[in-house]
Amino acid sequence: MMITRNKPHKKILIQIACLLFLLAGCSNAGNSNSSTIGTEESKSSKPVSGGEFTYALSTPPDTLDPQASGFAVSYRVLKSIFETLVYQSKDNTIEPWLATEWDISEDQKSYTFKLRDDVTFHDGSKFNAEVVKYNFERILNPKTRATTAASYLGKFKSIEILDDYTIKINLSEPSATFLTLLAHTNLSIVSQEAAEKYGDQFNAHPVGSGPFKFVEQVENDRIVLEKNENYHGGYPFAEHDGPAYLDKLVFKIIPEEATRIGSVQSGQVNAIETVPPQDVVSIKANNQLNILEAATGGLPYTLFINQTTAPWDDVKARQALKAAIDVKTIVNTLYLGTYKRAWSSLAPITFGYDKSLENKDSYDVKKANQLFDELGWEKASDGLRKKDGKTLTLRILNDAINREKRQDISLMVQQQLKEVGVQVELITTNDPLSILKDAKGYDLRGNSRVALDPDDLTLFYHSQKTRDTGGLNLSWIKDKEIDTWLENAAVELDKEKRADLYKQVQQKLIDQVAVIPIYDFPYTVAAAKKVQGLKFDSLGYPLFFDVNLQK
């Protein structure tokens, strides 16, 4: 099985695309998953080289070492500095990047990669097979603290250098996810010389091979990158080859929503991320800025019901709980039509998503009351349900920051459950991890995850992935059938069969009310009208390679 990059062919395609662009006045092509910037005036404008582009982030990255990062916001910066061996296209196929082609052995346990021979890191060192081998070893070295990256290499066994630009990676068993995981930003290739030179300070001196080079970082204020004039080309989703258009790319850290909105409206920054729903509506109405939206892949924002705490360990109680929560009203009220309601434990653009689960609304207060009655939880004079001297209580664990109005969701759930006699206690903390490790410490927890592959369901729903073992199984669900489906899907190479396995998982999670899906997160950007060429990758992360500023 071999995939080959044909560089001359790619350049011809780019030249044809540019010719059509000029002749037809076309703009950056959008797709079903995302939008790209382009007013009627700028659609026919020729890209302009030079200039400084400032992009406001809502939170600071945790680190600029891609292999040690665990925050989605970090990837928005790292994707301009670093590159991976392969990347995932928007139809979920895997395409060459630093690797030009690969061959998979008959037993599906060995991958032989041919590497590009024209790539140089920002410090002048060469990219080759030795560097790739070093990177895999660095990720697996506990000193790197590459927790997420190392988890993606769970089936990695060894790596061999066959020649200067050929490597062979051996796995302990076949994997349906290995190539996809290689496309993750956490598995970016860093400069070996820089990593060895700076050691645990590499985060402060990040060196990659991408279209932009690191200049400086001022903590909680800004990150400055500059154009890599010697960029080798071949950037994913790009409409031109060679170096980026921009001279400088600045990421400004502006956590406060109103300040962030004001900064783009006043022209202090060129674009901002995570636009609040009310501002999306107003900006679209006044048409002073462009709004871009990209669907994100992975797991939508979901309420996980802890199955170890009574009475929520009873599926009938969970059914009553779900029937009492009006998800449609929550999403419409808080997000004003800018977010879509989620129906499954996977996001719609993720491989294996089960569309058949859509539009099956379970909100039914009468049914909720009936089920609680049948369970012996009777309403007392204070309106709360009681049984054996205990009040029916649901403890919701919240983060201290009201990210994406998630605290407001809890407040609305609290109000809705009061109508059926359930007392809701809100636990708000700066340290949710310590509570999550305690199986009895909470009843309901909301979470989401950006992911390339549905295999991330394993982290959240396999019985061996509970929080006390380092996993993300927030429901503490232990279901042998789900475990088997997840394990089989991880090694199933037939795409149709693999998708069916994940659909079975999604259906059972809904049937057993292990979770209540709430919303699919759209990554939303507001940008000045002069900004052109901003795109998104297959996960909804912004790409700045084609960005240029019209005069």
Average pLDDT over residues 58-83: 95
CA of 476: how far to CAs of 309, 355, 442, 540, in Å?
Answer: 10, 26, 11, 29
Phi, psi of 283 (to 5 degrees): -65, -40
Cα–Cα distance measured from residue 474 to residue 310, given in angstroms and rounded to the nearest whole number:
16
Whether the Cβ atoms of residue 248 and residue 226 lie closer than 8 Å to each other: yes
- pLDDT classification of 39: cutoffs 50, 70, 90: very low
311 cis-preceded (ω within 30 degrees of 0) = yes
pLDDT at position 434 = 87
Rounded CA Rg of the chain: 24
User: What is the average pLDDT value for the chain, to the nearest integer?
Assistant: 91
In this prediction, residue 208 has a pLDDT band, given cuts at 50, 70 and 90, of very high
Residue 409 has pLDDT above 60, yes or no: yes
Q: Is 274 helix (H, G, I), strand (E, B) or coil?
A: coil
> Across residues 527-535, what is the average pLDDT?
97
Span of 35-39, 400-404, 534-538 with lowest mean pLDDT: 35-39
Query: Is residue 344 scored above 50 in pLDDT?
Result: yes
Q: With contact defined as beta carbons under 8 Å apart, do 132 and 167 qualify?
A: yes
CA atoms 506, 507, 509, 513: torsion sign = positive
Long-range contacts, stretch 103-111, CB < 8 angstroms, 24+ apart: 103/1, 103/2, 104/1, 107/174, 108/174, 108/175, 108/493, 109/157, 109/170, 109/171, 109/172, 109/173, 109/174, 110/168, 110/169, 110/170, 110/171, 111/168, 111/169, 111/171, 111/178, 111/179
pLDDT at 50 over 50: yes
Digit-coded pLDDT (tens) for 240-276: 999 999 999 999 999 999 999 999 999 999 999 999 9
**Predicted confidence (pLDDT) per residue in 282-293, tens digit:** 999 998 999 999
* CA gap 344, 515 in Å, rounded: 9
pLDDT at 16: 37
Domains of the chain: 1-58+219-296+522-551 (3.40.190.10), 61-210 (3.90.76.10), 298-520 (3.10.105.10)
- Does pLDDT of 113 surpass 70? yes
Give me the helix-helix angle, 406-418 and 315-324, nearest 10°: 100
Tell me the C-alpha distance between 306 and 298, whole Å: 21
CA dihedral 69, 72, 74, 78 (to 10 degrees): 90
Whether pLDDT at 455 is above 60:
yes
Residue 361's pLDDT is what? 84
Residue type, 344: S
Average pLDDT value for residue range 58-71: 94
Cβ atoms of residues 417 and 327 within 8 Å: no
For residues 429 and 347, the answer to whether their CB atoms sit within 8 Å is no
Q: How confident is the model at residue 433 (pLDDT cuts 50, 70, 90)?
A: confident
Buried b (16+ CB within 10 A) or exposed e, 517-530: bbbbbbbbbbbbeb
Instruction: Output the pLDDT for position 98.
Output: 98
Size of the chain, expressed as the number of residues it contains: 551
Q: Which two tokens stand for residue 405?
A: 């109005």
